[in-house]
């Protein structure tokens, strides 16, 4: 078996997100202690990065409060010191709130969303928008540039979240600015969000054909798109994100016992594809983390 970085696959776990609640799956973490325990289980299962949206333990809602984020980061460091923490830049009513975690904690990785879009919850069988029907996820060119510059200053690698082709073209346009982004870029292709593109081979192929050839890339998918995208990424040289932020279930339809159980699935897929699960040090090299 080839033993080089091209054969290594990074598994990331998104532990909570902004929308998934304990009422949907009790394993969704709210408290710092729960985040720490879940991160440790994910690391032991094979994940080398965890993506976090801190929650208000009293309400379960995501929060931009820096003290709550600090408590979550600290709990994860205590329980799983080797795991790489990826902090969201999407939470907050203002740009200042969204950029503050990057400036404060200087994580190795942070998500950077790439386009404004409708963002709601829907029933894909009936076409009914069931929640957040007026939701608009604002990621203007102004916001993208502010976040990117802050990440560069903090030596934080932007994980460029691509929900549709417009987001990818936005980044290709902004990348013409000298020094806005550090190369090689790292893309995460997000499939199945209402307002974005669903998973399809032609959509993934289109993204791969457009991105700069030296880029690294991973996939995440909402609900069943998580498994479809992950299977293809393993076979095609990409990396996989799983976790309860994106999907509360396993391939058989049963509720996941935690994000760690989906990590175990990703490990199996990695091996079936003839690849090896990356270590934390290998992940740093693959994603070109700057710190």
Among positive and negative, which fits the CA dihedral 287, 66, 256, 19? Answer: negative
Query: Does residue 80 belong to any structural domain of this protein?
Result: yes
* pLDDT for residue 291: 67
Mean pLDDT by 10 residues, the chain (291 residues): 79 95 97 98 98 97 97 98 98 97 98 94 88 89 98 98 98 97 97 95 98 97 96 98 98 97 98 98 95 67
User: Total structural domains in the chain?
Assistant: 1
Longest CA–CA span in the chain (Å) reads 51
Instruction: Give the SS3 label for residue 43.
Output: helix
Query: Does residue 270 belong to any structural domain of this protein?
Result: yes
Of 245, 249, 278, which is closest to residue 86 (Cα–Cα)? 245
* pLDDT for residue 266: 98
DSSP string of 137-162, one letter each residue: E---HHHHHHHHHHHHHHTPEEEEEE
* pLDDT for residue 1: 37
Query: Does residue 139 belong to any structural domain of this protein?
Result: yes
Query: Does residue 291 belong to any structural domain of this protein?
Result: no
Query: Does residue 38 belong to any structural domain of this protein?
Result: yes
Of 120, 145, 36, which is closest to residue 80 (Cα–Cα)? 36
Residue whose pair of structure tokens reads 């600290």 in the numeric block = 74
Query: Does residue 83 belong to any structural domain of this protein?
Result: yes
Reported pTM? 0.96
Query: Does residue 248 belong to any structural domain of this protein?
Result: yes
What range does the domain containing 21 cover? Answer: 5-286
**Long-range Cβ pairs for the range 271-274 (8 Å, 24+):** 272/234, 273/9, 273/234, 273/235, 274/1, 274/7
Q: What is the CATH number of the domain that holds 210?
A: 3.20.20.70
Query: Does residue 74 belong to any structural domain of this protein?
Result: yes
CA angle 152, 148, 219 (to 5 degrees): 105
């Amino acid at each position: 078996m080839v033993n080089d970085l091209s054969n290594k696959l990074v598994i990331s776990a998104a532990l909570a997100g902004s929308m998934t609640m304990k009422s949907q799956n009790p394993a969704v973490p709210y408290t710092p202690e729960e985040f720490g325990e879940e991160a440790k289980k994910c690391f032991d299962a094979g994940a080398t990065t965890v993506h976090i949206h801190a929650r208000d333990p009293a309400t379960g809602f995501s929060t931009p409060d820096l003290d709550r984020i600090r408590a979550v980061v600290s709990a994860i460091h205590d329980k799983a010191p080797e795991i790489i923490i990826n902090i969201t830049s999407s939470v907050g009513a203002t740009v200042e709130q969204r950029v503050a975690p990057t400036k404060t904690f200087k994580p190795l990785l942070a998500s950077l969303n790439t386009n404004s879009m409708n963002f709601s919850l829907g029933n894909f069988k009936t076409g009914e928008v069931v929640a957040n029907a007026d939701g608009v996820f604002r990621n203007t060119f102004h916001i993208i540039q502010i976040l990117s510059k802050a990440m560069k200053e903090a030596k934080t690698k932007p994980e460029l979240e691509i929900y549709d082709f417009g987001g990818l073209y936005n980044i290709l346009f902004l990348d013409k600015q000298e020094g806005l982004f550090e190369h090689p870029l790292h893309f995460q292709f997000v499939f199945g969000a209402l307002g974005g593109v669903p998973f399809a081979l032609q959509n993934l192929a289109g993204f791969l054909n457009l991105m700069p050839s030296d880029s690294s890339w991973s996939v995440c998918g909402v609900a069943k798109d998580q498994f479809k995208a992950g299977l293809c990424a393993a076979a095609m040289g990409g990396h996989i994100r799983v976790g309860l932020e994106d999907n509360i279930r396993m391939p058989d339809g049963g509720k996941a016992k935690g994000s760690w159980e989906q990590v175990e699935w990703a490990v199996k897929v990695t091996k079936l594809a003839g690849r090896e699960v990356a270590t934390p040090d290998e992940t740093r090299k693959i994603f070109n983390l700057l710190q």
